Structure 1
Amino acid sequence: MSKNRRLPRGRHSTVRNVPLRTHWLLLTTLVLTLSAALLLQGYATHMFDTTADGAHRDPGPADTVPEQIRTGGPVIEGSVGRTATVKPRTIALTFDDGPDPRWTPQILDVLRRNGVRATFFTVGAQVAAHPELARRIVEEGHQIGVHTFTHTDLGAASPWRRSLELRESQLVIAGATGVTTPLLRPPYSSTGGALDDSAWDSVVQAGTEGYLTVLSTQDSQDWRRPGVDQIVAHSLPADNEGQILLLHDAGGDRSQTVAALERLVPRLKASGFELTTVTEATGLPAATHGAATVDVWQGTSLIYALRASDWVLSALSWLLWAAGAISVLRAVAVFTAARRHVRKRRVPWGAPVTEPVSIIVPAYNESAGIEAAVRSLLASDHPVEIIVVDDGSTDGTADIVESLRLPGVRVIRQRNAGKPAALNTGIAAASCNLLVMVDGDTVFEPDAVRMIVQPFAHRRVGAVSGNAKVVNRGGLLGRWQHIEYVVGFNLDRRLFDLAECMPTVPGAVGAFRREALLRVGGVSDTTLAEDTDLTMALCRDGWRVVYEERAKAWTEAPATLGALWKQRYRWCYGTLQAMWKHRGALTQRGQAGKLGRRGLLYLLMFQVLLPLLAPVVDVTAVFGLIFLDPLRILGLWSAFLLLQLLMGLYAFRLDKEHPGPLWSLPLQQFVYRQLMYLVVIQSVFTAIAGSRLRWQRMERYGSLQVPAGHQAPVGHQTPVAPPAPHSPGRQDADWSR
């Protein structure tokens, strides 16, 4: 047995635990920022009430509305109950719902050609989307007013939302134009006589916050789009009384409004009416004032935040469509590959492989399951020798195996040096040319060894992955891992097999050609996923790695979320290490190039990038349920779940498993999936931070049992080949790297 040389200081095998707090803070910040951006976008866009201002609404009781308000002027100071009327033969042109990038510029052009100024009651969300139009309104001498932020009915809104609507609208106006305005027109308002109790309550609240409520006295009814002639007719005053005329520069097709304005303005001027702004028409002081610097900054920030949230939502939409399309293509590819793999496996690899096999069992504190594991291996229907390498156990693992006194089983004790060192020790002590490596928590089916070595009939095959199955399937967590093993791992392995880019032979059940191991220098300890590292090294050396689904072994899965986290964290981090270590395969040819351009890119796409997008998917799904059509979101989720269910049914059928556990698949989306993507996020941040992860050993539960009829009888001697003489590069080789 060769000695393991010590690695120099500074090598990556000297691992350390570095508390990582920054990455969780960063992730939390990113998720909260994304949530805030979507919330802002959802509020500004999808809480927008698009009902026309003049649409019929059933009025409520008006018991609290003062008589002087009902019969007074259209401009109301709600805090004190005063009104202002319009001067005779004066018309204040007012436009609601803008600014609109198409219609507002045309209306401004008409007013400029006729030398007329008007008042534009703008929607805050529209100002944020088109701040340049708000600036033009102010620069051309028109008045700007508030029409709430999302065109909501203030009378039906709660007091806090009323304040929010007014404040946000005022801020974006300040950010876009540098001015503030006290003028407010509540959406869906008309005359003072039409105010009900809830509307009056909102007018009073607006007055206490410094706003003058501007109602209308004449409705052009352009929102109905009745035709240019009708709009002009409805806009002409019946007498010489002053009017506040309601028109619209947004909220739909306003071509009739523009055409009507071209005829209406000259006609009114020719009739001797003065066309002006609200404050000039009522004799009130100038409405707009220079905004405070802090308001300008806050308003500008809000505008940029809304634009950023709009960009984020657009980017997310493209990403989600792309992710969905890729996921569907992956499902089709995996399904197609699985069908081809089934047909391909009907053709034998060649002449049956009957030569004996050395089974290496690295063991560290495996007392709970080591007896079951060894007895199942000894019960194999293929000639084997079993080498248990006790890696410095402190629970009597080696003593248990020795006390069994089983023929064909050897125990090698060594000081604790890690699983790779234990495997290398077993390889050096093995006498056979075909090696099976198995974890100490794994029980083999009687034909598993025979099945897993059959692909070695093909000379190019250097390693074979077996079919690891979960033995402790009780409870939701056990079922979810069982589903993952059957659907996720094994379907992917069939695809990798056909594409000749298998990235991992699992430590629980894998077979190797001795020659192949010698050529790559044995099992490396430079990553925490020694099985993935070794498999990739074999692929890069030109060997084929295949999947034999008939070689079944039963392994214990973590029974708690904490244990599962530790296991998957090590797996994921180790896989990232191996991918980085073997990144050179991307530019190589032959078998190495297949690993690089197929296997590594597949892992990068589906095991790194897509899980990193998972929090975004979840946040966006919540956004859709709140602000979009929840039935459509639920429909998409159901379609995705159906696709997973169909893949699950097919995978369970291929593995001859009962599909009963698939009932828990919907629940898996709410706990297990989140845990898995958080593991990926943790691993990626750990790798980026340059920290190193200590080996995370899984707790054993003693749930392994030798299947009925699998125990070797007393005195049974498994036939093995006699130890081979030393040959160059075998037991004298230095296996440590």
Structure 2
Amino acid sequence: MLPWGESTGLLATLFNFAFFYPLFMAWLWMVGGIWYFFHWERRIARTPEEPPELDEYPGCSILLPCHNEGGQVRETMDWLLKQTYPNFEIIAVNDASTDDTGEILDEFAAEHENVRVIHFSSNQGKAMGLRVAAVASRYEFLFCIDGDAVLNKTAIQWMMWHFLNGPRVGAVTGNPRIRNRSTMLGRLQVGEFSSIIGLIKRAQRIYGRIFTVSGVVSGYRKAALHRNRYWNTDMVTEDIDVTWLLQADHWDVRYEPNALCWILMPETLRGLWTQRLRWAQGGVEVLLRYGLKALRWRQRRMWGVVFEYTLSVIWAYVMATIFFLYFLGLLVPLPETLRVASILPEWNGVLLGVTCLVQFAVSLLIDSRYEKGLWRIYFWVIWYPLGFWLISMLTTVAAVPKALVKGHGERAIWTSPDRGVRP
């Protein structure tokens, strides 16, 4: 029993779960991440700039869906054309942009024979853009990049290595790195992508399946996509959806930390809220659509991911309930069994804080081989649990009803995101 408010009965159970769930998951991710590092990463005595030599270099198609990316897409295209991989085409989709995105893409197509552009007259959404580009592609291997991302010049070769050495590999996700870090929110997300997202992907590769590829940088085998009808256009997060579809079809999904991709992230609270709400709703939608099917014995490798995400949703509602009871108790008298005397953590908060710092230290140590100077943001990540855990809780609570009331088959279309403050 935890000492918070001398709680008893059901309330004590809620407090215990709210405390032990993040504590257990943090240590599980750390153990899994370290295991992954020594099992796979440590064996590769290469840097991201030294991709493995391949026995062959089959053609591949880079799919670039864009919507109002005029301020970023020129830089994105410049870096795509610098890829060290010798045999590729670029298929850019201008999804009814209202800025100069289409004109910029047409300029590149006129200058480079391996660049093609598809224009949509109305907003169709990212998933539809990817589907059309995939059908128009010439090659078996597809790599999807966001229109505001900067792909490291060796990333395609690193991801292609997995496809050529694993016939059951259906998708490979790269390693997104934060470009904009001039504000506290930007610096916090640098730590988040290393200590949370990167570490989780490593751990999930150890104990079964990956929850999602990173939609900003991912590769696919066209045969795997074709068997599963490509990306669904009615899911808020097409990347989570296609990851579950492929793994349910017994395709392997891998994580390649050397495939670096530099991305822009929100640096305002409003932009961060919108992004995280979309992520949370996408996760809930996938859980509602595939969760029960994934519990079948043939899908047993999905059980870890299903239970992990289900527990995270329950945790969010447990935390919301505790906060609700506390603030309600300030307004009206509550029965002793429901009274939350305090939400200020005691020894348990210290333990969670220390665990968080250890997790950040482990992840930054692993990720330091891919990005130098990460330790400079270690001070900032101290504030991560206070802000981002609260946002995660609130967005998950808000996402469940949104996912439940969303009409089946309703098209998910583009909205221009907050891309942060750029120096």
TM-score bin (small chain): 0.7 to 0.9
Within the candidate set 318, 324, 327, 1:613 is matched to 318
Q: How does 1:25-44 map to 2 (within 5 A)?
A: none
Cα 1:700/1:409, change in 2 over 3 Å: farther
Task: Tell me: CA distance 1:353–1:341, structure 2 relative to 1, closer, same or farther (3 Å).
Answer: farther
Which of residues 641, 651, 654 is equivalent to 2:363?
651
Letter in 1 for 2:90: I
In the other structure, the counterpart of 1:468 is: 176
Paired with 2:219 and 2:378, the residues of 1 have a C-alpha distance of 30
Match of 1:604 among 298, 307, 310: 310
SS in 2 for 1:466: strand
Matched, 1:333 2:2: no
Instruction: Give yes or no for contact 1:338–1:494 (8 Å, CA) kept in 2.
Output: yes
In structure 2, stretches of 5+ residues that fail to align are 45-51, 330-339
- Number of the residue aligned with 1:521: 229
Report what 2:142 is aligned to. 435
Letter in 1 for 2:114: G
Give the superposition deviation at 1:526. 2.3
- Do the aligned partners of 1:369 and 1:700 also contact (CA within 8 Å) in 2? no
Bigger drift between 384-393 and 343-352 goes to: 343-352
What residue in structure 2 maps to residue 366 of structure 1?
69
Counterparts of 1:343-492 in structure 2 under 5 Å?
343-346=38-41, 354-383=57-86, 384-404=88-108, 405-415=111-121, 416-456=123-163, 457-492=165-200
1:575 counterpart = 2:280? no
CA deviation after TM superposition for structure 1 residue 478, in Å: 0.9
- What is the aligned partner in structure 2 of residue 321 from structure 1? 16
Q: 1:704 to 1:444 in 2, by over 3 A?
A: farther
What CA deviation, in whole Å up to 9, does each residue of 1:259-296 have, x standing for no partner?
A: xxxxxxxxxxxxxxxxxxxxxxxxxxxxxxxxxxxxxx
Question: Residue 326 of structure 2 contacts residue 342 of structure 2 at CA under 8 Å; is this kept in 1?
Answer: no
Aligned-residue sequence identity (percent) comes to 24
In 2 relative to 1, CA 681–585 (structure 1 residues): closer, same or farther, beyond 3 Å? same
- The partner residue of 2:267 within 546, 559, 574 is 559
- Looking at structure 2, the residues matched to 397 and 604 of structure 1 have their Cα atoms a distance apart, in angstroms, of 40
Question: Secondary structure in 2 aligned to 1:671?
Answer: helix
Helix, strand or coil at the partner of 1:699: coil
Deviation at 1:572, TM superposition (A): 1.2
Structure 1 spans left out of the alignment, 5+ residues = 1-40, 47-309, 706-737
For the residue of structure 1 that corresponds to 2:199, the secondary structure is: helix
- 1:693 deviation in Å? 9.5
Whether the aligned pair in 2 keeps the contact of 1:501 and 1:545 (CA below 8 Å) is: yes
Cα shift at 1:696? 6.2
TM-score in terms of structure 1 length: 0.50
Quick one: structure 1 residues 520 and 690, their matched pair in 2 at CA, closer, same or farther if it must change by over 3 Å? closer
Q: Give the Å deviation of 1:315.
A: 1.7
Deviation of residue 670 (structure 1)?
A: 3.3
Deviation at 1:690, TM superposition (A): 5.0
Structure 1 440/572 Cα, relative in aligned 2: closer, same or farther at 3 Å?
Answer: same
Give the 5 Å matches for 1:132-147: none
Q: Which has the higher contact order (CA 8 A, sep 6+)?
A: 2
Contact 2:268–2:418 (CA under 8 A) maintained in structure 1? no
Aligned pair partner of 2:251 in 522, 543, 548: 543
> Offset of 1:507 from its aligned partner?
1.1
Helix, strand or coil at the partner of 1:644: helix
Secondary structure of the residue aligned to 2:150 is strand
Q: How many Å separate the matches in 2 of 1:488 and 1:357?
A: 31
Residue 602 of structure 1: how far off its partner (Å): 1.0
Give runs of aligned pairs for residues 105-124 of structure 1, distance below 5 A: none
* Change in CA separation of 1:334 and 1:583 when aligned onto 2, cut-off 3 Å: same
2:48 matched residue in structure 1: none
Change beyond 3 A, Cα 1:690–1:371: closer
- Relative to structure 1, the CA distance from residue 666 to residue 693 in structure 2 (aligned partners, 3 Å threshold; closer, same or farther) is farther
Alpha-carbon distance in structure 2 between the residues aligned to 1:316 and 1:330: 22
Q: Secondary structure at the match of 2:278?
A: helix
CA displacement 1:60-119 (0-9 Å, x = unmatched): xxxxxxxxxxxxxxxxxxxxxxxxxxxxxxxxxxxxxxxxxxxxxxxxxxxxxxxxxxxx
**CA offsets 1:350-409 (integer angstroms, 9 cap, x no match):** 965632321000111111110111111111111221111111111121211222424422
CA distance change for structure 1 residues 467 and 621 in 2, over 3 Å: closer, same or farther? farther
Larger radius of gyration: 1
Question: Could you say what the CA RMSD is over the residues aligned between the two structures, in angstroms?
Answer: 2.8
Aligned residue type for 1:675: I
Contact 2:224 2:251 in 1 (8 A): yes
1:682 shift after superposition: 0.8
In the alignment, the residues of structure 2 paired with residue 643 and residue 497 of structure 1 have an alpha-carbon distance, to the nearest angstrom, of: 22
Distance 1:610 1:538 in 2: 27
Distance 1:694 1:353 in 2: 38
1:445 to partner: Cα distance = 0.9
Q: How far does residue 511 in structure 1 lie from its aligned partner after superposition?
A: 0.4
Tell me, what secondary structure is at the counterpart of 2:316? helix
Shift of 1:694: 6.2
One-letter amino acid matched to 2:140: N
In structure 2, the CA distance between the partners of 1:418 and 1:675, relative to structure 1 (3 Å rule), is same
Amino acid of the residue matched to residue 72 of structure 2?
A: G
Judging changes above 3 Å, is the alpha-carbon distance between structure 1 residues 696 and 661 closer, same or farther for their aligned structure 2 residues?
Answer: farther
* TM-score where L is the length of structure 2: 0.84
Deviation at 1:685, TM superposition (A): 2.4
Partner of 1:163: none
CA distance in 2, matches of 1:689, 1:702: 31
The residue type equivalent to 1:370 in the other structure is V
Q: CA deviation at 1:589?
A: 3.5
Aligned: 1:530 with 2:248: no
